[in-house]
Chain A
């Protein structure tokens, strides 16, 4: 059913810390591995071991640089992009077959592949590029928040988190209930000011991002002083500097 539920109980999602992410693509690889193993529903690749390979991924890591306005230095950061499990998910309401749906019990947005006709309209409706049509099976693929892990009764309790969270070597990804004000993710969002992506699209994403902290001017000028400002040195260093400058 493509009508959006209220989700008053739980809003499960990811909190991604761009300050901590080192852009290793570990989450991309583990996501691909988990979602391509175990049953017939695959994230397919075409020409995987040949020229021009193309494949379906639920998670992609971009790389950006931004100018620090106080130092005029470029600062780089990495940006993992995946489904945000929006409260007002436009990908769900546009679906003509009812394959796309949002779960009332936890807010996870899923695709029922048995109903999908592969029209691609949900991918057009998503502002974030979170959905990719699988070119082999012809059905739409998206992040499931590892619904087959988080509720698994076979996995040990510590593994019942999305595989991208489990595999992140720097702990840049956290999983939790954003509807619970006492959850770790909710606390971090409050403390560090978690943000929405493209709030102007009015999708109300559940996933939040913590933006990279801007490096202070001191951090930059202390690097610069070694290189450029040695003439200001005093004491022993100043004597060495003056002595060496004579030659």
Chain B
């Protein structure tokens, strides 16, 4: 699949933003955070979520109809994502205002924000996980990876040792995701044979292409550039998103300025991870072009 920068930035930035909001919400529920910190970190979370959503807006080819994406929540995960994110961010804004003015907070609002932001990340991941056409996405590892990526990123600023646990879960899920995506059984049912109505093991080869130039389908869904350097990029991604953050947090526990540095490094790693998430994914339409 085409790794469009607007989509990668959307999932990385809004994932981090909603991850941060969910951690703030949890700490608010548990009374483990000061009113001042709720305001500061909620504003940061809000900022990243909105930047992410704006980025996804730039992916649309016909932006004037974007508002209509709130309408089909009964069947569409993308519609649910739009509604859920707007709803969640409205409550964040309300919570920030309340806490800022009153200088105290309501614990119950914290648990609502925690659950709602997790649900928003889940809806984002289901946009991809629902697609039978992309088998490496079409399983529950995709939502698990998206949720724990967001929680790990969001926890770096606010939690010390607990963020190590979340990072560890993220690291395991990430390796598992890559491992499963590499398995040949992932495309076990579809082949050029089934794509053309024959049996799976029919010996068929394209001898000419259907058009004289590239087209939308090839640009969007038959993206092959990544495969060449995929393994190297995985190492870079894993080192930046997991190994370096773990090491730095262990070496400098509770050091806030180091944790800002860690966030920056972690972002680079997650960006590469999401780039691979798209670039390595194989869509069933590519069988027509084999």
On A, residues with C-beta under 8 Å from B are 1-3, 52-57, 60-67, 69, 76, 79, 81, 90, 92-99, 114-121, 123-129, 132-133, 135, 137-139, 195-202, 209, 211
Contacts and interface: CB of A to CB of B under 8 A. Distances in A.
Interface stretch (B71-79, B144-152, B269-277): B71-79
Contact of A119 (B59, B131, B208, B285): B59
19 contacts: A54-B213, A60-B210, A62-B209, A63-B208, A76-B207, A94-B77, A117-B64, A117-B69, A119-B59, A124-B131, A125-B130, A127-B285, A128-B195, A138-B62, A198-B194, A198-B195, A198-B284, A200-B190, A211-B198
B69 A119 contact: yes
Contacts of A79: 196, 288
A81 B132 CA distance: 19
Nearest to A210: B197
Contacts of A3: 74-75
Quick one: which of B78, B133, B209 has the most chain A CB within 10 A? Answer: B133
A197 B66 contact: no
Contacts of B288: 62, 79, 81, 128-129
B284 A116 contact: no
Contacts of B64: 117
Contacts of B285: 126-129
A197 B284 contact: no
Interface in B243-290: 283-285, 288
B207 A66 contact: no
A106 to B, nearest CB: 21
Nearest to A128: B285
Interface residues of B, number: 57
Contact of B216 (A63, A126, A135): A135
Nearest to A62: B210
A176 to B, nearest CB: 19
Given A76-B207, A96-B78, A198 B190 contact: yes
B109 interface: no
Given A60-B211, A90-B133, A97-B69, 14 more contacts: A52-B213, A62-B209, A63-B210, A66-B203, A81-B210, A94-B78, A118-B62, A120-B61, A124-B283, A129-B221, A132-B215, A135-B216, A196-B197, A200-B194
Contact of A195 (B70, B133, B197, B283): B197
B13 interface: no
Given A55-B215, A56-B216, A129-B217, A64 B65 contact: no
Interface of B: 1, 59-66, 68-72, 74-79, 82, 127, 130-134, 189-190, 192, 194-198, 202-217, 220-221, 283-285, 288
B132 A90 contact: yes
A119 B210 contact: no
B204 A65 contact: yes
B250 to A, nearest CB: 40
Contacts of B75: 2-3, 92-95
B196 A197 contact: yes
Nearest to B281: A124
B189 to A, nearest CB: 4
Contact of B79 (A69, A90, A96, A116): A96
Given A129-B285, A201-B284, A123 B205 contact: no
A201 B134 CA distance: 11
A195 B288 CA distance: 17
B72 A98 contact: yes
A121 B129 CA distance: 12
A238 B78 CA distance: 76
Contacts of A198: 190, 194-195, 284
A65 B207 contact: yes
